[in-house]
Homo-oligomer: A and B are copies of this chain.
Amino acid sequence: MIDYRQSGVDVEEGYRAVDKYKSHAKRTAIPGVLSGLGSFAGMFQVPAGMKEPVMVSGTDGVGTKLDVAFAMKKYDTVGIDCVAMSVNDILCTGARPLYFLDYIACGKLDASVAADLVKGVADGCVESNCALLGGETAEMPGFYDEGKYDVAGFGVGIAEKAAIVTGKSITEGDVLIGLSSSGIHSNGFSLVRRLITDFTQKADFAEGKTIGEVILEPTRIYVRPVLSVLEQFSSAVHGMVHITGGGFYENIPRMYPAANEKRQEAGLAPLVSSITKGSWEVLPIFEELVRRGADPERMYHTFNMGIGFILAVAQDKADAICKALTDFAASPDAGRCAQMKAWKIGQVVASQKTPASGEKLTQEEQVLFQE
């Protein structure tokens, strides 16, 4: 006769993990949270006084960056990546993140590893000014190899409907402001792991760090600086993009559909992005990846290349917004954005090509590089 425990699921270890989570969740509490962990569902009250509140939600995982973390037995930062991937997406709409839930799955649960993962999630929530409202830890013996944990998450933010950044107001001449990334962030790791297998090597381009430490650097969370800019310059911020999977080529064009729909109706050529190479610091890790065999022609199709978030802003406000971002990075509120830089990296231009109806511009026609 066997019971559930004997089938490979250690219920007691699960309780131990949840116990450890509680203190992490506690330090993320913000006004609005109505329930702790342990009840069937997490509850968060819609902020009072909003006219037409819109819930904005995103979900993402950490991808195979997890493999690097586990190889290095460094479990307490990938949770930051997990939060970053969702909240940076949510932020693109202008929404303020309110709360987050995590999903952790593994083959054999070790409560201290799981607690380290959740510590990172909570750190990411603190950095995003949002609450860790709940989560699920699934022990799935045989489904996951021992030692492997998948980590995904789900964030909910809120925006006033009229203030949502839709991209509709993006205009020719708008300036593209790029915010520096902290490293590779959480995309492209299936390629990174093909190129880098020994994580303990010293990184000669990063003093005192191993290459493993460099690539494991947590994804920057842009919530605080960007919300601060939206407060000061809301109508001047016309579009925003998170440089996530697919790099520059796949993400920057995601800003334009609303504006280009209007332009197409008016018979105007679509808006595209003109990026000035050399206008920001490409992080040395990306040069290292090329040295190790990554195709230099495809880097901007996969990686952030040093720019993790881009704002399209009104030309006459671009300098003021750049300065506000730089000032924010120097403020006591900056958190992990203390090292963040803001550069004018390009401009919104009209395409030379007006595609025929039904035809689409290629990625290379939508993201132009000027040397």
Contact = CB atoms under 8 A, between A and B. Distances in A.
Most chain B CB neighbours (cut-off 10 Å) among A40, A41, A194, A298:
A41
Interface of A is mostly: mixed
Nearest to A87: B41
A84 interface: no
Contact of A246 (B11, B55, B302): B11
A371 to B, nearest CB: 22
Interface of A: 1-4, 6-9, 11, 34, 38-46, 48, 50, 52-61, 63-64, 66-67, 89-90, 92-93, 95, 98-99, 101-103, 105, 133-136, 138-143, 148, 150, 152, 154, 156-157, 159, 161, 164, 188, 190-191, 193-195, 241-242, 246, 254, 293-296, 298, 301-302
20 contacts: A1-B295, A2-B191, A3-B301, A7-B194, A8-B190, A34-B54, A40-B58, A40-B93, A41-B90, A41-B92, A43-B159, A44-B55, A46-B52, A55-B98, A57-B99, A59-B101, A59-B103, A59-B154, A61-B138, A105-B150
A239 to B, nearest CB: 11
Given A1-B294, A140-B190, A301-B4, A46 B41 contact: no
A259 to B, nearest CB: 14
So how many copies of this chain end up in the complex? 2
The 9 closest A-B pairs by CB, nearest first: A154-B154, A3-B298, A7-B191, A40-B92, A7-B190, A1-B295, A3-B295, A41-B58, A4-B302
